Amino acid sequence: MNGASLPLAQLLAPAVRWDPARGYDLQRPLIDRALAAGVGGFILAGGETEAVRALTKDLQRRSRTPLLIAADMERGAGQQFAGATGLPPLAAIASLGDPEAVRRAARLTAREARTVGVNWDLAPVCDLDVLPENPVVGTRSLGADAALVADLAGEWIDACQSEGVLACAKHFPGHGRTAADSHDELPVVATDAETLFAQDLAPFRAAIESGVGSMMTAHVAYPALDPSGLPATLSREMLQWLLRQRMRYEGLVVSDALSMKGLLRAVPAPQGGSQGGSQGGSTGAEGAAAVRAVQAGCDMLLAPSDVDATVAALDQALRSRMLDAERVQQALRRRLKWAQWVSPPNEYRRPSMTDTGLGAQLADRVVRAERGAVAALRGVVDVLTVDDDAAPGAPAPDERARPASTRRQLADALRIAGVQARAVDSAEGASGSTLVIALFGECGPSKGRAGHSAETRAAVSAACAAAARSARDAVVVLFGHPRLAAAIPDAPSVVCAWSGDRVMQDAAARWLARRK
Protein backbone atom coordinates (compact mmCIF):
# COMPACT_ATOMS: atom_id res chain seq x y z
CA MET A 1 0.00 0.00 0.00
CA ASN A 2 1.57 3.31 -1.04
CA GLY A 3 1.34 6.46 1.03
CA ALA A 4 -1.19 8.14 -1.23
CA SER A 5 -3.74 5.33 -0.75
CA LEU A 6 -3.53 4.97 3.02
CA PRO A 7 -6.94 5.16 4.78
CA LEU A 8 -6.05 8.24 6.80
CA ALA A 9 -9.56 8.79 8.13
CA GLN A 10 -9.14 5.66 10.24
CA LEU A 11 -6.90 7.73 12.50
CA LEU A 12 -9.89 9.90 13.51
CA ALA A 13 -12.70 9.46 16.02
CA PRO A 14 -15.19 12.35 15.79
CA ALA A 15 -17.58 13.17 18.63
CA VAL A 16 -21.31 12.49 18.35
CA ARG A 17 -23.47 14.41 20.82
CA TRP A 18 -26.99 13.68 21.97
CA ASP A 19 -29.56 16.45 21.93
CA PRO A 20 -32.37 16.17 24.54
CA ALA A 21 -35.01 17.26 22.03
CA ARG A 22 -33.75 15.69 18.79
CA GLY A 23 -31.65 12.74 19.94
CA TYR A 24 -28.92 11.97 17.42
CA ASP A 25 -30.87 13.42 14.49
CA LEU A 26 -28.85 16.64 14.45
CA GLN A 27 -25.67 14.58 14.15
CA ARG A 28 -26.77 12.47 11.17
CA PRO A 29 -24.98 14.62 8.56
CA LEU A 30 -21.75 14.45 10.58
CA ILE A 31 -22.13 10.69 11.01
CA ASP A 32 -22.80 10.16 7.31
CA ARG A 33 -19.76 12.22 6.28
CA ALA A 34 -17.55 10.47 8.81
CA LEU A 35 -18.59 7.01 7.67
CA ALA A 36 -18.15 7.99 4.04
CA ALA A 37 -14.64 9.19 4.85
CA GLY A 38 -13.91 5.91 6.62
CA VAL A 39 -13.17 7.01 10.19
CA GLY A 40 -11.80 4.51 12.68
CA GLY A 41 -14.13 5.30 15.54
CA PHE A 42 -16.52 7.66 17.28
CA ILE A 43 -16.86 9.22 20.72
CA LEU A 44 -20.40 9.29 22.08
CA ALA A 45 -21.49 12.04 24.47
CA GLY A 46 -24.91 11.46 25.96
CA GLY A 47 -27.89 9.44 24.86
CA GLU A 48 -30.58 7.06 26.01
CA THR A 49 -29.49 3.44 26.17
CA GLU A 50 -31.86 2.12 23.50
CA ALA A 51 -30.91 4.92 21.13
CA VAL A 52 -27.22 4.34 21.83
CA ARG A 53 -27.59 0.63 21.14
CA ALA A 54 -29.35 1.32 17.83
CA LEU A 55 -26.75 3.90 16.83
CA THR A 56 -23.70 1.76 17.58
CA LYS A 57 -25.19 -1.21 15.72
CA ASP A 58 -25.84 1.02 12.71
CA LEU A 59 -22.34 2.51 12.85
CA GLN A 60 -20.64 -0.87 12.90
CA ARG A 61 -22.89 -2.20 10.12
CA ARG A 62 -22.17 0.72 7.81
CA SER A 63 -18.46 1.04 8.51
CA ARG A 64 -15.86 -0.43 6.17
CA THR A 65 -13.64 -1.25 9.16
CA PRO A 66 -14.29 -2.41 12.75
CA LEU A 67 -14.89 0.69 14.84
CA LEU A 68 -13.65 1.76 18.23
CA ILE A 69 -16.66 3.42 19.87
CA ALA A 70 -15.67 5.39 22.94
CA ALA A 71 -17.25 7.32 25.77
CA ASP A 72 -15.97 9.13 28.86
CA MET A 73 -17.26 6.77 31.55
CA GLU A 74 -15.08 7.69 34.51
CA ARG A 75 -18.23 7.59 36.67
CA GLY A 76 -19.82 4.58 35.08
CA ALA A 77 -21.87 4.22 31.91
CA GLY A 78 -24.55 6.33 33.58
CA GLN A 79 -22.24 9.34 33.39
CA GLN A 80 -23.12 9.49 29.70
CA PHE A 81 -26.13 7.31 29.03
CA ALA A 82 -29.59 7.66 30.56
CA GLY A 83 -30.80 4.26 31.72
CA ALA A 84 -27.32 3.04 32.65
CA THR A 85 -25.83 2.98 36.14
CA GLY A 86 -24.09 6.03 37.52
CA LEU A 87 -21.18 5.67 39.91
CA PRO A 88 -19.39 7.96 42.37
CA PRO A 89 -16.27 9.72 41.11
CA LEU A 90 -13.03 7.74 41.13
CA ALA A 91 -11.75 9.79 44.09
CA ALA A 92 -14.76 8.77 46.14
CA ILE A 93 -14.38 5.07 45.36
CA ALA A 94 -10.65 5.25 46.07
CA SER A 95 -11.38 6.85 49.45
CA LEU A 96 -12.91 3.55 50.59
CA GLY A 97 -9.48 1.89 50.53
CA ASP A 98 -11.07 -1.14 48.89
CA PRO A 99 -9.44 -2.33 45.63
CA GLU A 100 -12.31 -4.74 45.04
CA ALA A 101 -14.73 -1.79 44.94
CA VAL A 102 -12.64 -0.32 42.13
CA ARG A 103 -12.66 -3.63 40.25
CA ARG A 104 -16.42 -4.04 40.64
CA ALA A 105 -17.01 -0.49 39.42
CA ALA A 106 -14.87 -1.11 36.35
CA ARG A 107 -16.58 -4.42 35.61
CA LEU A 108 -20.04 -2.88 35.86
CA THR A 109 -19.02 0.01 33.62
CA ALA A 110 -17.61 -2.33 31.00
CA ARG A 111 -20.57 -4.71 31.06
CA GLU A 112 -23.10 -1.92 30.67
CA ALA A 113 -21.01 -0.29 27.95
CA ARG A 114 -20.88 -3.50 25.93
CA THR A 115 -24.65 -3.93 26.09
CA VAL A 116 -25.07 -0.64 24.20
CA GLY A 117 -22.20 -1.24 21.77
CA VAL A 118 -19.59 1.01 23.38
CA ASN A 119 -16.28 -0.84 23.40
CA TRP A 120 -13.82 1.79 24.61
CA ASP A 121 -13.92 3.48 28.02
CA LEU A 122 -11.82 6.65 28.19
CA ALA A 123 -10.87 5.85 31.79
CA PRO A 124 -9.25 5.63 34.28
CA VAL A 125 -7.76 9.02 35.05
CA CYS A 126 -4.17 8.32 36.16
CA ASP A 127 -3.37 11.94 37.05
CA LEU A 128 -2.41 12.66 40.64
CA ASP A 129 -4.60 14.98 42.70
CA VAL A 130 -1.64 16.94 44.07
CA LEU A 131 -2.62 20.52 43.24
CA PRO A 132 -5.83 21.75 44.90
CA GLU A 133 -6.14 24.64 42.43
CA ASN A 134 -6.10 22.28 39.44
CA PRO A 135 -9.26 23.24 37.52
CA VAL A 136 -9.84 19.96 35.64
CA VAL A 137 -8.76 16.97 37.77
CA GLY A 138 -10.18 17.04 41.31
CA THR A 139 -12.48 14.11 42.06
CA ARG A 140 -11.70 12.53 38.70
CA SER A 141 -8.37 11.38 40.14
CA LEU A 142 -7.84 8.24 42.21
CA GLY A 143 -5.91 10.34 44.73
CA ALA A 144 -2.65 12.08 45.57
CA ASP A 145 -0.54 9.09 46.60
CA ALA A 146 1.33 7.85 43.55
CA ALA A 147 1.65 4.26 44.77
CA LEU A 148 -2.03 4.00 45.66
CA VAL A 149 -3.16 5.56 42.38
CA ALA A 150 -0.88 3.16 40.51
CA ASP A 151 -2.37 0.15 42.29
CA LEU A 152 -5.98 1.22 41.82
CA ALA A 153 -5.50 2.25 38.19
CA GLY A 154 -4.10 -1.20 37.51
CA GLU A 155 -7.13 -2.80 39.16
CA TRP A 156 -9.51 -0.69 37.08
CA ILE A 157 -7.74 -1.48 33.81
CA ASP A 158 -7.51 -5.21 34.45
CA ALA A 159 -11.18 -5.50 35.42
CA CYS A 160 -12.39 -3.35 32.53
CA GLN A 161 -10.40 -5.14 29.86
CA SER A 162 -11.32 -8.55 31.29
CA GLU A 163 -14.84 -7.68 30.16
CA GLY A 164 -13.70 -7.00 26.59
CA VAL A 165 -13.77 -3.22 26.78
CA LEU A 166 -10.66 -1.22 25.97
CA ALA A 167 -9.45 0.97 28.85
CA CYS A 168 -7.56 4.25 28.46
CA ALA A 169 -4.99 5.60 30.92
CA LYS A 170 -5.03 9.39 30.85
CA HIS A 171 -3.55 12.00 30.58
CA PHE A 172 0.07 11.00 29.89
CA PRO A 173 2.48 11.98 31.41
CA GLY A 174 0.19 13.49 34.05
CA HIS A 175 -2.26 16.40 34.23
CA GLY A 176 -2.32 16.62 38.02
CA ARG A 177 0.13 19.50 38.43
CA THR A 178 -1.55 21.95 36.07
CA ALA A 179 -3.03 25.19 37.35
CA ALA A 180 -4.43 26.04 33.91
CA ASP A 181 -7.13 24.36 31.82
CA SER A 182 -5.91 22.82 28.56
CA HIS A 183 -9.37 23.39 27.08
CA ASP A 184 -8.51 27.10 27.06
CA GLU A 185 -4.72 27.47 27.14
CA LEU A 186 -1.49 25.49 27.09
CA PRO A 187 -0.55 24.57 30.68
CA VAL A 188 3.13 24.27 31.55
CA VAL A 189 4.29 21.96 34.35
CA ALA A 190 7.64 23.19 35.66
CA THR A 191 8.22 20.21 37.98
CA ASP A 192 11.64 18.59 37.78
CA ALA A 193 12.15 15.31 35.92
CA GLU A 194 13.07 13.36 39.06
CA THR A 195 9.72 14.14 40.68
CA LEU A 196 7.79 13.40 37.51
CA PHE A 197 9.49 10.03 37.08
CA ALA A 198 9.09 9.06 40.72
CA GLN A 199 5.48 10.19 41.15
CA ASP A 200 3.46 11.33 38.14
CA LEU A 201 4.64 8.56 35.81
CA ALA A 202 4.11 5.78 38.37
CA PRO A 203 0.41 5.24 37.57
CA PHE A 204 1.20 5.09 33.85
CA ARG A 205 3.91 2.49 34.46
CA ALA A 206 1.34 0.46 36.41
CA ALA A 207 -1.14 0.87 33.58
CA ILE A 208 1.39 -0.52 31.12
CA GLU A 209 2.14 -3.44 33.43
CA SER A 210 -1.62 -4.12 33.57
CA GLY A 211 -1.74 -4.33 29.78
CA VAL A 212 -3.70 -1.15 29.14
CA GLY A 213 -4.70 -1.02 25.49
CA SER A 214 -4.76 2.74 25.05
CA MET A 215 -3.19 5.82 26.58
CA MET A 216 -4.36 9.41 26.12
CA THR A 217 -1.88 12.26 25.84
CA ALA A 218 -2.04 15.55 27.71
CA HIS A 219 -2.13 18.88 25.92
CA VAL A 220 0.41 20.03 28.49
CA ALA A 221 4.07 21.07 28.22
CA TYR A 222 6.72 19.60 30.53
CA PRO A 223 10.05 21.40 29.97
CA ALA A 224 11.88 18.87 32.16
CA LEU A 225 10.81 16.10 29.79
CA ASP A 226 11.00 18.06 26.53
CA PRO A 227 12.83 21.40 26.60
CA SER A 228 11.18 22.43 23.32
CA GLY A 229 8.05 23.41 25.22
CA LEU A 230 5.78 21.29 23.04
CA PRO A 231 2.77 19.66 24.70
CA ALA A 232 2.98 15.88 25.15
CA THR A 233 0.55 15.36 22.26
CA LEU A 234 3.06 16.92 19.85
CA SER A 235 6.28 15.74 21.50
CA ARG A 236 8.34 12.95 19.95
CA GLU A 237 10.57 13.20 23.01
CA MET A 238 7.71 12.20 25.29
CA LEU A 239 5.79 9.83 23.03
CA GLN A 240 8.55 8.06 21.12
CA TRP A 241 11.55 8.14 23.43
CA LEU A 242 9.92 8.19 26.89
CA LEU A 243 6.67 6.26 26.36
CA ARG A 244 7.59 3.87 23.57
CA GLN A 245 11.28 3.23 24.19
CA ARG A 246 11.94 3.87 27.86
CA MET A 247 8.58 2.71 29.23
CA ARG A 248 8.17 0.05 26.52
CA TYR A 249 4.53 0.80 25.79
CA GLU A 250 3.17 -0.96 22.72
CA GLY A 251 -0.52 -0.06 22.86
CA LEU A 252 -2.59 2.61 21.18
CA VAL A 253 -1.61 6.25 21.81
CA VAL A 254 -4.51 8.68 21.37
CA SER A 255 -4.71 12.43 21.60
CA ASP A 256 -7.01 14.32 23.88
CA ALA A 257 -9.65 16.27 21.92
CA LEU A 258 -8.07 17.78 18.83
CA SER A 259 -10.15 20.96 19.11
CA MET A 260 -8.82 22.03 22.53
CA LYS A 261 -7.06 25.40 22.64
CA GLY A 262 -4.20 24.05 24.71
CA LEU A 263 -3.18 22.03 21.67
CA LEU A 264 -4.06 24.53 18.96
CA ARG A 265 -2.06 27.31 20.60
CA ALA A 266 1.03 25.13 20.45
CA VAL A 267 1.05 25.00 16.64
CA PRO A 268 1.83 27.92 14.33
CA ALA A 269 -1.25 29.55 12.82
CA PRO A 270 -1.63 28.28 9.23
CA GLN A 271 -1.06 30.85 6.52
CA GLY A 272 -4.38 32.17 5.31
CA GLY A 273 -6.24 30.14 7.93
CA SER A 274 -9.15 31.63 9.83
CA GLN A 275 -9.10 31.77 13.59
CA GLY A 276 -12.79 31.29 14.17
CA GLY A 277 -13.34 27.60 13.66
CA SER A 278 -15.72 25.51 15.70
CA GLN A 279 -15.13 24.77 19.37
CA GLY A 280 -12.59 27.53 19.72
CA GLY A 281 -9.96 26.48 17.15
CA SER A 282 -9.54 27.03 13.42
CA THR A 283 -9.91 24.09 11.06
CA GLY A 284 -6.48 24.91 9.65
CA ALA A 285 -4.90 24.85 13.09
CA GLU A 286 -6.54 21.50 13.81
CA GLY A 287 -5.15 20.09 10.59
CA ALA A 288 -1.66 21.28 11.47
CA ALA A 289 -2.02 19.85 14.98
CA ALA A 290 -3.22 16.54 13.57
CA VAL A 291 -0.19 16.21 11.34
CA ARG A 292 2.23 17.03 14.13
CA ALA A 293 0.45 14.72 16.59
CA VAL A 294 0.78 11.76 14.22
CA GLN A 295 4.40 12.68 13.55
CA ALA A 296 5.04 12.72 17.29
CA GLY A 297 3.53 9.29 17.84
CA CYS A 298 -0.26 9.56 18.24
CA ASP A 299 -2.10 6.67 16.60
CA MET A 300 -5.59 8.15 16.83
CA LEU A 301 -6.93 11.71 17.06
CA LEU A 302 -10.05 12.34 19.09
CA ALA A 303 -12.90 14.76 18.41
CA PRO A 304 -11.75 16.65 15.31
CA SER A 305 -14.12 19.51 14.45
CA ASP A 306 -14.01 18.79 10.71
CA VAL A 307 -13.20 15.25 9.59
CA ASP A 308 -12.79 16.10 5.89
CA ALA A 309 -10.47 19.04 6.56
CA THR A 310 -8.36 16.99 8.96
CA VAL A 311 -8.05 14.12 6.50
CA ALA A 312 -7.09 16.61 3.79
CA ALA A 313 -4.34 18.04 6.02
CA LEU A 314 -2.99 14.56 6.74
CA ASP A 315 -3.14 13.64 3.07
CA GLN A 316 -1.27 16.77 2.03
CA ALA A 317 1.40 16.10 4.64
CA LEU A 318 1.75 12.52 3.45
CA ARG A 319 2.03 13.54 -0.20
CA SER A 320 4.64 16.17 0.61
CA ARG A 321 6.51 13.61 2.76
CA MET A 322 6.15 15.84 5.78
CA LEU A 323 4.40 12.80 7.28
CA ASP A 324 6.12 9.43 7.03
CA ALA A 325 4.05 6.66 5.43
CA GLU A 326 5.52 3.99 7.71
CA ARG A 327 4.55 6.03 10.79
CA VAL A 328 0.97 6.20 9.47
CA GLN A 329 0.89 2.49 8.67
CA GLN A 330 2.12 1.73 12.18
CA ALA A 331 -0.74 3.79 13.63
CA LEU A 332 -3.28 2.11 11.36
CA ARG A 333 -2.10 -1.34 12.39
CA ARG A 334 -2.40 -0.50 16.08
CA ARG A 335 -5.90 0.90 15.67
CA LEU A 336 -7.06 -2.15 13.73
CA LYS A 337 -5.53 -4.52 16.28
CA TRP A 338 -7.52 -3.04 19.14
CA ALA A 339 -10.70 -2.56 17.10
CA GLN A 340 -10.58 -6.27 16.31
CA TRP A 341 -9.80 -7.08 19.94
CA VAL A 342 -13.01 -5.42 21.11
CA SER A 343 -15.18 -6.86 18.33
CA PRO A 344 -18.01 -8.24 20.43
CA PRO A 345 -18.12 -12.01 20.90
CA ASN A 346 -21.21 -13.38 22.61
CA GLU A 347 -19.56 -14.86 25.67
CA TYR A 348 -18.99 -11.60 27.56
CA ARG A 349 -21.26 -11.25 30.56
CA ARG A 350 -24.17 -8.86 30.69
CA PRO A 351 -24.70 -6.93 33.91
CA SER A 352 -26.76 -8.77 36.50
CA MET A 353 -29.17 -7.20 38.98
CA THR A 354 -26.42 -7.53 41.57
CA ASP A 355 -24.07 -5.65 39.28
CA THR A 356 -26.49 -2.81 38.65
CA GLY A 357 -27.24 -2.49 42.37
CA LEU A 358 -23.57 -1.68 42.86
CA GLY A 359 -23.95 1.98 41.92
CA ALA A 360 -26.29 2.76 44.79
CA GLN A 361 -24.27 0.63 47.20
CA LEU A 362 -21.04 2.41 46.35
CA ALA A 363 -22.71 5.82 46.49
CA ASP A 364 -24.10 5.07 49.95
CA ARG A 365 -20.66 3.96 51.14
CA VAL A 366 -18.82 7.12 50.09
CA VAL A 367 -21.20 9.75 51.54
CA ARG A 368 -19.72 11.00 54.80
CA ALA A 369 -19.91 13.74 57.39
CA GLU A 370 -17.01 16.03 56.58
CA ARG A 371 -17.42 18.50 59.45
CA GLY A 372 -19.60 18.82 62.52
CA ALA A 373 -22.38 16.64 63.82
CA VAL A 374 -25.48 16.41 61.66
CA ALA A 375 -28.59 16.79 63.79
CA ALA A 376 -31.75 14.79 63.18
CA LEU A 377 -33.92 16.31 60.48
CA ARG A 378 -36.80 18.34 61.91
CA GLY A 379 -40.07 19.62 60.55
CA VAL A 380 -40.53 20.21 56.83
CA VAL A 381 -37.01 20.15 55.43
CA ASP A 382 -36.20 23.02 53.11
CA VAL A 383 -33.64 22.32 50.38
CA LEU A 384 -31.89 25.43 49.09
CA THR A 385 -29.70 25.00 46.00
CA VAL A 386 -26.48 27.00 45.60
CA ASP A 387 -25.02 26.13 42.23
CA ASP A 388 -21.43 27.24 41.65
CA ASP A 389 -21.51 25.73 38.15
CA ALA A 390 -24.14 28.32 37.22
CA ALA A 391 -22.40 31.23 38.97
CA PRO A 392 -21.43 34.38 37.07
CA GLY A 393 -18.49 33.62 34.83
CA ALA A 394 -19.07 29.87 34.76
CA PRO A 395 -20.14 28.29 31.48
CA ALA A 396 -23.61 26.82 31.24
CA PRO A 397 -23.43 23.07 31.84
CA ASP A 398 -23.62 21.05 28.64
CA GLU A 399 -26.63 18.82 29.29
CA ARG A 400 -26.01 17.03 25.97
CA ALA A 401 -22.87 15.46 27.44
CA ARG A 402 -24.67 13.50 30.17
CA PRO A 403 -28.19 12.59 31.25
CA ALA A 404 -30.14 15.53 32.63
CA SER A 405 -29.25 15.82 36.32
CA THR A 406 -31.60 18.34 37.84
CA ARG A 407 -30.28 20.35 40.73
CA ARG A 408 -33.65 19.78 42.40
CA GLN A 409 -33.14 16.01 42.60
CA LEU A 410 -32.09 16.09 46.25
CA ALA A 411 -35.48 17.36 47.42
CA ASP A 412 -37.27 14.74 45.32
CA ALA A 413 -35.02 11.99 46.66
CA LEU A 414 -35.65 13.07 50.24
CA ARG A 415 -39.39 12.77 49.69
CA ILE A 416 -38.90 9.30 48.19
CA ALA A 417 -36.91 8.40 51.32
CA GLY A 418 -39.88 9.40 53.48
CA VAL A 419 -38.84 12.93 54.46
CA GLN A 420 -41.17 15.88 54.19
CA ALA A 421 -39.04 18.10 51.98
CA ARG A 422 -39.45 20.94 49.54
CA ALA A 423 -37.19 22.90 47.23
CA VAL A 424 -36.98 26.56 48.22
CA ASP A 425 -35.37 29.70 46.88
CA SER A 426 -34.73 31.35 50.26
CA ALA A 427 -33.11 30.33 53.54
CA GLU A 428 -35.93 31.90 55.54
CA GLY A 429 -38.24 29.34 57.13
CA ALA A 430 -40.03 28.06 60.18
CA SER A 431 -38.16 28.01 63.47
CA GLY A 432 -37.09 24.54 64.50
CA SER A 433 -37.08 23.07 61.00
CA THR A 434 -33.99 21.94 59.08
CA LEU A 435 -32.39 23.78 56.20
CA VAL A 436 -30.36 21.66 53.79
CA ILE A 437 -28.05 23.67 51.53
CA ALA A 438 -27.26 21.69 48.40
CA LEU A 439 -23.92 23.11 47.29
CA PHE A 440 -22.90 22.15 43.76
CA GLY A 441 -19.49 22.90 42.31
CA GLU A 442 -17.07 20.62 40.49
CA CYS A 443 -14.07 20.91 38.22
CA GLY A 444 -15.09 21.11 34.59
CA PRO A 445 -13.96 22.10 31.11
CA SER A 446 -13.49 25.86 30.74
CA LYS A 447 -14.87 26.59 34.21
CA GLY A 448 -11.52 28.13 35.06
CA ARG A 449 -11.30 27.32 38.76
CA ALA A 450 -11.22 24.39 41.13
CA GLY A 451 -12.94 25.98 44.11
CA HIS A 452 -16.16 27.88 44.64
CA SER A 453 -16.47 31.50 43.57
CA ALA A 454 -16.62 34.30 46.11
CA GLU A 455 -20.30 34.77 45.23
CA THR A 456 -21.01 31.10 45.96
CA ARG A 457 -19.23 31.18 49.31
CA ALA A 458 -21.09 34.36 50.24
CA ALA A 459 -24.42 32.77 49.34
CA VAL A 460 -23.72 29.77 51.58
CA SER A 461 -22.61 32.02 54.45
CA ALA A 462 -25.75 34.13 54.10
CA ALA A 463 -27.97 31.05 54.12
CA CYS A 464 -26.28 29.69 57.26
CA ALA A 465 -26.67 33.06 58.96
CA ALA A 466 -30.35 33.23 58.02
CA ALA A 467 -30.89 29.76 59.45
CA ALA A 468 -29.17 30.74 62.70
CA ARG A 469 -31.41 33.81 63.05
CA SER A 470 -34.46 31.58 62.74
CA ALA A 471 -33.10 28.97 65.17
CA ARG A 472 -32.93 26.41 62.39
CA ASP A 473 -30.44 23.59 61.97
CA ALA A 474 -28.43 24.02 58.78
CA VAL A 475 -26.44 21.36 56.99
CA VAL A 476 -24.47 21.83 53.79
CA VAL A 477 -24.41 18.88 51.41
CA LEU A 478 -21.25 19.36 49.40
CA PHE A 479 -21.51 17.92 45.89
CA GLY A 480 -17.83 18.30 45.19
CA HIS A 481 -14.36 17.52 46.49
CA PRO A 482 -14.26 17.19 50.31
CA ARG A 483 -11.38 19.68 50.59
CA LEU A 484 -13.79 22.42 49.49
CA ALA A 485 -15.45 22.18 52.92
CA ALA A 486 -12.59 24.21 54.38
CA ALA A 487 -13.67 27.22 52.31
CA ILE A 488 -17.16 27.34 53.87
CA PRO A 489 -16.32 27.84 57.59
CA ASP A 490 -19.72 29.35 58.44
CA ALA A 491 -21.49 26.03 57.86
CA PRO A 492 -22.00 24.26 61.22
CA SER A 493 -22.03 20.85 59.53
CA VAL A 494 -20.96 19.63 56.10
CA VAL A 495 -21.77 16.33 54.44
CA CYS A 496 -19.62 15.33 51.48
CA ALA A 497 -21.37 13.70 48.51
CA TRP A 498 -18.52 14.16 46.02
CA SER A 499 -20.40 15.03 42.79
CA GLY A 500 -23.72 16.39 41.59
CA ASP A 501 -24.71 13.33 39.58
CA ARG A 502 -28.14 11.93 40.26
CA VAL A 503 -26.69 8.82 41.93
CA MET A 504 -24.93 11.00 44.50
CA GLN A 505 -27.96 13.20 45.16
CA ASP A 506 -29.99 10.06 45.81
CA ALA A 507 -27.32 8.70 48.13
CA ALA A 508 -27.10 11.98 50.04
CA ALA A 509 -30.86 11.92 50.53
CA ARG A 510 -30.74 8.39 51.93
CA TRP A 511 -27.88 9.39 54.24
CA LEU A 512 -29.87 12.36 55.59
CA ALA A 513 -33.11 10.39 55.84
CA ARG A 514 -31.49 7.94 58.23
CA ARG A 515 -31.20 10.90 60.63
CA LYS A 516 -34.94 11.59 60.88
**Spatial contact of 93 and 75, defined as CB atoms under 8 Å apart:** no
- DSSP label at residue 317: H
Which residues carry out catalysis? Answer: 256
The CA distance from 250 to 489, in Å, is 49
Residue 494 predicted with pLDDT over 90: yes
**Spatial contact of 217 and 298, defined as CB atoms under 8 Å apart:** yes
Phi/psi-derived region of residue 158, left when phi > 0, alpha when psi is between -120 and 50, beta in every other case = alpha
Helices (H) and strands (E) in the chain, counts: 17, 15
Query: Please, what is the average pLDDT of the chain?
Result: 91
Q: Which CATH class is domain 17-341?
A: alpha beta
Determine which helix (DSSP H) or strand (DSSP E) holds 282, and give its type and residue range. none
Return the closest-CA partner of residue 205 out of 283, 126, 303.
126
Report pLDDT digits (tens) over 22-75.
999 999 999 999 999 999 999 999 999 999 999 999 999 999 999 999 999 999
The CA distance from 71 to 62, in Å, is 20
**Spatial contact of 279 and 305, defined as CB atoms under 8 Å apart:** yes
- Confirm whether 17-341 and 367-513 share one CATH topology: no
Report pLDDT digits (tens) over 258-304.
999 889 888 875 554 443 333 334 568 899 999 999 999 999 999 99
Return the closest-CA partner of residue 170 out of 205, 120, 125.
125
pTM beyond 0.85 = yes
For the chain, which residues make up each domain, given as ranges? 17-341, 367-513
CATH (residue range 367-513)? 3.40.50.1700
